[in-house]
Amino acid sequence: MTEKPDESRQALQFSFTNYRYQPETGEAVLSYHVDGLEFKERITFPWAPWPVDASRQAAFYRALETLHLVAGISYYKAGLARTISADEVEFDEAVLDFLNGLYVQGLGEFAYVNNLDLTGLINFENKTESIILNQISGRADLSMPLDLPERALVAMGGGKDSLVCLQMLIDSGLEVQPACVGGSVLIGETARAAKLPLIRVQRELSPALGKLNADGAWNGHVPVTAINSAILLCAGLLYGYRYVVFANESSASEPTLIDNLGNEINHQYSKSLAFEKTFRNVISTRISPNVEYFSLLRSFSELAIARRFSELTRYHEIFSSCNRNFHQDGSHIDGRWCQDCPKCRFAALALAPFLTPEQLVTIQGTDLLNNENQISGFKALCGLDGHKPFECVGSIEESRAAMKFLAGHPDWRNRKIVDSLAVREEIIEATKLDTHPDPAAENCIPPGIQARLDAL
């Protein structure tokens, strides 16, 4: 049963205090206060680029303001303050809609796991007087036209989705630049396999947050993709890229579960189409209509992505979809796969229809589909035992479709997991395996990029 936050643990006020950028060093500092306790987060952009044109400099500071607001969610959650103060921010309807959605939906899993009811707590409010003054002065729309090169900054995560996205753009003939946030060695190896350099932006959380967590503050999942999106938006403006491209697929919009209050809880909210659309609206109205943030794979299911990735054999032995490789403090495992998590299991299930058992063992180092100890994990993926895992995995429907396909495949049907689940009614009645993008799926791909893809 969920409960309102314990008032004895709850902060009174959370404040977005200030943000700054040093062009000489490439370091941005984002500052926050929780009841007077100061937090300083540092973002470092390599090579310290600084645009020569004033319009791009101004747009960057608007993007940095947006990053300041987005990254604050990591610090807000520790105290769940009763009031939120952002006195220096000129709110409009676009940013209010975006922030309220991000903080409420983005903290949905955090609230569920901590048995918290956050209903009515988070509310970014309109500053009516400020908005009216801006409208009078003609500054209600803060965005500005920019002359940016026709090239793409591509977010890299080390897994199959971002590699499929990158390769599609390479094949289309567009100039691309892989980029990531953090120090993952594995991401660097995938970029080298693509024969491209990597822009690696460093993010250093405030040490005060770690101390607060150690002392028993509320802790849990935050929408990291939203934070990385805002960081790479800033990077795109600094380095000069019109497109900031992610590889979020259709299943990211599916809720992980519905809680006892009827709320949709989505582990992947910041990868969803809803997030993408509200973030794009903030960019177009507050930064520039000439910057395009979008997911290239929105019309793809995870199985459609897996089919394409199965053909990109040069990446097979260097990629990993196991999230235990990707932490702020580095990898938590030896090797590329922990071989015992929802991500490892789903990667096996999604790739198996397009690979032989021997090929999959070469990739993951084991045959998870033949390990009876993994049965409960595969049941969860297929929606046969509790809710879908709190991980970036495919939809229940496509997991069932993949399992049904394997049950009829001579190479896979005798595997212990497949044989055990094949008799379940949900698997027998599952839809047919579909490995094609949905041409009717809503997406935000710019027409020029879509035309390139259509010509492939």
pLDDT along the chain (456 residues), means of 10: 89 96 97 96 94 95 97 97 88 92 97 94 70 39 88 95 98 98 91 96 96 93 98 98 97 91 93 98 96 98 97 94 66 77 96 97 96 96 91 94 98 97 97 92 97 94
Phi, psi values for residue 199, rounded to 5°: -90, 120
Look up residue 59 and give its two tokens: 């747009």
User: Residue 335: how many CB atoms within 10 A of its CB?
Assistant: 12
The answer to whether residues 343 and 392 touch, using CB atoms and an 8 Å cutoff, is: yes
Position 332 scores a pLDDT of 57
Q: Rounded to 10 degrees, what is the CA torsion of 113, 116, 117, 118? A: -90
Of 303, 339, 268, 266, the C-alpha closest to 112 is 266
**Which of 153, 148, 450 shows the shortest CA–CA distance to 290?**
148
Helix or strand (DSSP H, E) at 447: helix 447-454
Find the farthest-apart pair of alpha carbons in the chain and give their distance in angstroms, rounded. 72
pLDDT of residue 325: 62
What is the structure's pLDDT at 424? 97
What is the spatial distance between Cα 355 and Cα 349, in angstroms, rounded to a whole number? 10
Yes or no: say if 399 and 382 are a contact pair by the CB < 8 Å rule: yes
Distances (CA, A) of 77 to 22, 37, 412: 28, 14, 45
Query: What does the DSSP assignment read for 89-101?
Result: ----HHHHHHHHH
The 3-state DSSP class for residue 286 equals: helix
- The Cα 101–Cα 122 span in angstroms is 10
User: Cα separation of 408 and 410, whole Å?
Assistant: 7
Question: What is the pLDDT, as a whole number, of residue 183?
Answer: 83
Residue 174: predicted pLDDT:
98
pTM comes to 0.94
Q: Where are the domains of the chain?
A: 13-295, 302-428
Angle (deg, nearest 10), helices 93-106 and 273-286:
150
Query: In what order do the strands lie in the sheet containing 151-155?
Result: 83-85, 13-22, 27-34, 37-44, 199-204, 175-181, 151-155, 243-246, 292-295
